[in-house]
Amino acid sequence: MSTSPDAPGDPAQPPSPGRSAAPGVSVVVPVLNEERHLAGAVGRLLGQAYDGPLEVVLAVGPSRDRTHEIASSLAAADPRVRVVDNPTGRTPAGLNAAIAAAAHDVIVRVDGHALVPADYVATAVEVLERTGADNVGGIMGAEGETTFERAVAVAMTSPLGVGAAAFHTGGEEGPAPTVYLGAFRRSALERVGGYDESMVRAQDWEMNYRIRESGGLVWFTPRMRVTYRPRPTLRALARQYHDYGRWRREVVRRHPDTLNARYLAAPVALLGVVLGTAAGLLSLGGPTWLAIGWAAPVGYAVLAVAGGLWISRRQPLAVAVRVPAVLATMHGSWGLGFLTSRTGPSRAWARRPAR
């Protein structure tokens, strides 16, 4: 399949004379049960302030709502929108299917309900061309609407909540281990074989690792900021971070050299709290020296409460008082997922290369 934007049948035509010969861009979007957000998300993508050819490729999973019907109507209304099936509904499989169907050499990965600014694609292309990077991306800008979501957003944008990853907390432009979502050179995706379809979570991090191991460059820029809506309940947040921890353990299992102190912080803290609490309880009817175990849970509680109130000091009181519980949920769930992660999928990983 030709990847030239000038190929016959391309849904996005090359720029007319007098316009900048900007490279063609394919925005790939895996979608599942996105009835509420899909039309608005596609509208924002089609409205990008970009001078070059642009298409949106929707990889639609087996949704329980009207997502497929809406996607089909969007494609019928605008030739720049294309739809491919994603029978498994899994994000990496959908991304690979969309990339395989994409017409252009710049691949921009977006989620179905992501809120991208109007200059997102133009900025991505400019940074790709200026740096020579294989993937460029920016900040996962967590912004809540409810009081609880705002508390989660505070935790997700603080090193106390998520470590010092630039795509969460911001930072200077430059090389990075990973970025949020990303805009890729198609050649880089083909070089590493596309997304690993057995990675239900952490597929972006794992992909960026393989790009870097192949000699490629992953580049962070704070100019690419995508608005992210946090989980709406404590239970949903716990499930999300449990999955994060579980699948980050799978990344470490496959790529042991990725293990570092930041990944061990939450599991070690959880073990300390559990073992310390157990020792403290045993001291009530046993050796009194075991009471030293209380230092771990009490110390963590002080850190979560004091740290949570500090990082939310500019927030309304209703938000600030929720942040310590949010931090404890994120740390504990991530640590539990990491510690209890079982052996991952078969070593015959179902990886379908992007073509």
d(CA 212, CA 182): 14
Per CATH, which fold does 25-231 belong to? Spore Coat Polysaccharide Biosynthesis Protein SpsA; Chain A (3.90.550)
Residues 46-71 as b or e (16 or more Cβ within 10 Å = b): eebebebbbbbbbbbbebeeebbebb
**Close Cβ partners of 8 (under 8 Å, ≥ 6 residues apart):** none
**pTM of the entire predicted model:** 0.84
pLDDT for position 164: 82
pLDDT for position 343: 52
CB-CB contact of 111 with 30 (8 Å): yes
Q: Amino acid identity of 149?
A: E
Q: Where are the domains of the chain?
A: 25-231, 256-340
CB-CB contact of 182 with 116 (8 Å): no
Q: Minimal CA–CA distance to 210: which of 244, 255, 246?
A: 255
CB-CB contact of 76 with 42 (8 Å): no
Query: What are residue 28's DSSP bridge partners?
Result: 57, 109
Instruction: Map the chain to HEC letters.
Output: CCCCCCCCCCCCCCCCCCCCCCCCEEEEEEECCCCCCHHHHHHHHHCCCCCCCEEEEEEECCCCCCHHHHHHHHHHHCCCEEEEECCCCCHHHHHHHHHHHCCCCEEEECCCCCECCCCHHHHHHHHHHHHCCCEEEEEEEECCCCHHHHHHHHHHCCHHHHCCCHHHHCCCCEECCCCEEEEEEHHHHHHHCCCCCCCCCCHHHHHHHHHHHCCCCEEEEEEEEEEECCCCCHHHHHHHHHHHHHHHHHHHHHCHHHCCHHHHHHHHHHHHHHHHHHHHHHHCCCCHHHHHHHHHHHHHHHHHHHHHHHHCCCCCHHHHCCHHHHHHHHHHHHHHHHHHCCCCCCCCCCCCCCC
Q: Give, for all 355 residues of the chain, the pLDDT tens digit.
A: 333 333 333 444 444 444 458 999 999 999 999 888 899 999 999 999 999 999 999 999 999 999 999 999 999 999 999 999 999 999 999 999 999 999 999 999 999 878 899 999 999 999 999 999 999 999 999 999 999 999 999 999 999 999 888 888 888 999 999 999 999 999 999 999 999 999 988 999 999 999 999 999 999 999 999 999 999 999 999 999 999 999 999 999 999 998 988 889 999 999 999 999 999 999 998 899 999 999 999 999 999 999 999 999 999 999 999 999 999 999 999 999 999 988 554 333 333 333 3
pLDDT for position 10: 45
Supply φ then ψ for residue 27, to 5 degrees.
Answer: -95, 120
pLDDT for position 3: 38
Q: Which long-range contacts (CB under 8 A, 24 or more apart) does 300-303 make?
A: 300/269, 300/272, 300/273, 300/328
